[in-house]
Amino acid sequence: MARKLYVGNLPYDTSDQDLQTLFSTVGTVETVNLMRDMATGRARGFAFVEMATDEEAQHAIGTLNNSDLGGRNLTVNEARPKTSSGGSGGYGGGGGRRSEPRW
């Protein structure tokens, strides 16, 4: 079991400190990484929290998954490693749309 946890369904006004405080009730928190929109800076509703040990991470999942934060039920589970998207490189697909501007 990895020590890095995915935390989803967060209220948009959640701060890094809120997550630090919440997860420190169940163990030692090493890092909190709240995902934010690059353009607006607003929280995107999910984060990654790394706990000090595997046991603390498991305890956090058991205790905090489906718990209430700001009126929303949190999703807390093991973070999955980022996978390769398969090589589209951001250029493939297009859905039949023109790639050049229409004039």
**Domain ranges, ordered by start, for the chain:** 4-78
Does residue 17 surpass a pLDDT of 60? yes
pTM of the model: 0.77
Average pLDDT over residues 20-48: 94
By the 10 Å C-beta count (0-12 exposed, 13-18 middle, 19+ buried), 51 is classed as buried
How far apart are the C-alpha atoms of 3 and 8, rounded to whole Å?
Answer: 16
Does residue 23 surpass a pLDDT of 80? yes
Does residue 66 surpass a pLDDT of 50? yes
**Amino acid at position 74, single letter:** L
CATH code: domain 4-78 is: 3.30.70.330
Query: Which of 80 and 47 is assigned the larger pLDDT?
Result: 47
Question: What's the DSSP call for residue 94?
Answer: G
**Amino acid at position 37, single letter:** D
Question: What's the DSSP call for residue 84?
Answer: -
- For 35, phi and psi rounded to 5 degrees? -75, 130
- Split at pLDDT 50, 70, 90, the class of 1 is very low
Percent of the chain surpassing pLDDT 90: 69
Does residue 88 surpass a pLDDT of 80? no
How far apart are the C-alpha atoms of 69 and 8, rounded to whole Å?
Answer: 11
